[in-house]
Amino acid sequence: MNTHPHVIIIGAGIGGLTTAIGPQHCVKSDVRSPFWSKLLGFPKLEQLFILTNVIRAPNATRVLQNLGVLAEVTIYANKPAGLVVRRYDDDSEIGPRSHSDGLDKKFDSPMLVIHRADLQRVLLKAVHAQGARLHMSARVKTVDPDFNAKVELETGQQFEGDLVVGADGINSQVRAQMVRYWEIPDELTATGDAAYRVTIPRHKLLECPGLIQEIDGRVSSRWIGPHGHIMAYPLRGNELYNVVMVHRNEEAGLDKSNIWTRRGRMTALLRFYGSWSPLVNILAKQINTEGLVQWPLETRPHLPSWSVNRICLLGDSVHAMLPYVAQGAAQAIEDAAVLGTCLSQISDIPQVLSIYERVRKARAEFIQNSASTMRTVLHYEDGVDQEKRDAIMRAPRIAGWKHPDLWADAEYQNTVWGYDVIAETQRECSKCLEPPNNAERQVKRRSRQVDVCLNISGGAPDMFMITDSTTKSTMDEVSMNLFQSPFDNSAFLSTAGGTLSDLSPPLPSLIQL
């Protein structure tokens, strides 16, 4: 086979873009025009991203450091000072506050929170700096029915490579094609929960000095109560307060027309949280009802495999994560790190996919399951189970004790946050690599060139990225083309021979910040 694999990536959310800037990756990019205009009726891209913020756990920031983008991510990110857990009805603290500095030292990698628009900007900039040329107006129509590495756009244009990566979200068309091939059920299962995600400007919370003090001190807060919880933390130099409000979903299972998001109703929010604490109600009063969006929290079953022939899945398309342990983006980044590391060292695609699944599948499924466990613990009704949970959380922490809050459990922290996915992948790759004295074969380890399909909406299967490798040390003759979907919420980047020209407008016009 070709020793310089050509990889097509369908979807360019966090996982897809991180794959595009993986180890040994070389891309030339430029941005020709913005691709987003309207989604869910919001007039600005920023408003969409305000609703989707990202916690960067140490297992993810460790990868970003390896990829060379953590320094810039840190510019935009907040570093939480710690976490306080509160009772839902009176704001009383349950147990001692945790402090992040100790975690940073323990895991040699920081815990960060970042506005998703800022993270997307950093990742796109990394692709842009490597030479992507973006054009608009097309969607991915289908992948090869025999699972060869072939993709067709709605325009009829076709692309063929060595590997297709389906990073197209929880509604993945690539996954749907796989499960039809396997003839297995793959229905979405409602958790019964949904989440409102909002950001509140700091100046709107001045009537609550205690909360302002915690915002300025970079303290994260979590309220836990019957059938729901709230996670809140400051962003962007403490000027924004991000609030994620998880609650019982009154509409669970009633409407499958848009399982990704739908507009939230303030009346429903106040009905659920009206009996919660005064502080929670202060937060609720400051929510902009025009920007209120609700995410139904849904899951899909584990798959028997993550790949068929030369097509594999990545991120939410294969292991959609519930938010209770804040590992969704981190696990997509781990996926990307494994694929990038394998493709930089191993030329045989089946072997790459074997290592990818061996390193990732069991771990990702363990973390998926742990999120479901965490949901139960956080949402106890008042009673015996809640009292036992709170008593353990208030007790002094003793080595070997299992903490009900997985974020505070030492064993869980070590397993999830302390994991070095790139080191593990390199160990697996080393078992397959040619002998070190075979210099000629060592030289042929691949550089990669990626075509990126950008999906800012994060869920639609409209985007895809083509990775093509070449023996050249630079990609000066590579151009990349971005096509926009008819719905203005996605884009496609393809690699083609040519010269780089029309390098305008600059990247910020794409992000529209």
Is residue 88 included in any domain, yes or no?
no
321: closest CA among 357, 364, 259? Answer: 364
pLDDT for the residue numbered 485: 27
Q: What angle do CA 149, 153, 154 make, to 5 degrees?
A: 145
What are the φ and ψ backbone dihedral angles of 420, each rounded to 5 degrees? -110, 95
Q: Which residue has the tokens 């990247």?
A: 507
Q: Which residue has the tokens 């842009």?
A: 128
Higher pLDDT, 12 or 354: 354
User: Chain-wide mean pLDDT for the chain?
Assistant: 77
pLDDT for the residue numbered 289: 84
Residues of the chain with pLDDT > 90, as a percent, come to 53
pLDDT for the residue numbered 255: 59
Is residue 50 included in any domain, yes or no?
yes
Question: Residue 219 sits in which domain range?
Answer: 189-299
Domain boundary, last residue among 299, 330, 354: 299
Is residue 414 included in any domain, yes or no?
yes
Q: Can you tell me whether residue 73 is helix, strand or coil?
A: helix
Query: Do 149 and 199 share a domain, yes or no?
Result: no
Query: Do 231 and 291 share a domain, yes or no?
Result: yes
Query: Do 348 and 240 share a domain, yes or no?
Result: no
Domain boundary, last residue among 238, 268, 299: 299
- For the segment 251-277, the average pLDDT, to the nearest whole number, is 79
Q: What is the pTM of this model?
A: 0.82
Q: Enter the tokens of residue 461.
A: 């299967």
pLDDT for the residue numbered 253: 58
Query: Do 39 and 115 share a domain, yes or no?
Result: yes
- For the segment 169-195, the average pLDDT, to the nearest whole number, is 94
Is residue 338 included in any domain, yes or no?
yes
Least confident piece of the model among 9-18, 38-47, 78-87, 339-348: 38-47
Query: Do 174 and 193 share a domain, yes or no?
Result: no
Q: How many domains does the chain have?
A: 2
Least confident piece of the model among 15-24, 323-332, 402-411: 15-24
Is residue 350 included in any domain, yes or no?
yes
Query: Do 61 and 182 share a domain, yes or no?
Result: yes
Higher pLDDT, 356 or 1: 356
Query: Do 110 and 231 share a domain, yes or no?
Result: no
pLDDT for the residue numbered 493: 33
pLDDT for the residue numbered 97: 84
pLDDT tens-digit readout, 361-386: 999 999 999 999 999 999 999 999 99
Least confident piece of the model among 18-27, 209-218, 232-241, 343-352: 18-27
Query: Do 206 and 339 share a domain, yes or no?
Result: no
pLDDT at 51 over 60: no
Domain boundary, last residue among 299, 326, 345: 299
Query: Do 436 and 370 share a domain, yes or no?
Result: yes
Is residue 421 included in any domain, yes or no?
yes
Q: Over the range 126-150, which residues count as b (16 or more CB within 10 Å of their CB) and which as e? A: bbbebbbbbbbbbbbeebbeebebb
Least confident piece of the model among 45-59, 362-376, 486-500: 486-500
Query: Do 169 and 193 share a domain, yes or no?
Result: no
> What CATH number did the domain enclosing 264 receive?
3.30.9.30
> What CATH number did the domain enclosing 134 receive?
3.50.50.60
Is residue 489 included in any domain, yes or no?
yes
Query: Do 400 and 496 share a domain, yes or no?
Result: yes
Q: Which of 56-60, 136-140, 223-227, 432-436 has the highest mean pLDDT?
A: 223-227
Is residue 96 included in any domain, yes or no?
no
pLDDT at 61 over 70: yes
pLDDT band at 446 (very low <50, low <70, confident <90, very high): very low
| Pairwise CA distance, residues 126 & 464, whole Å | 17
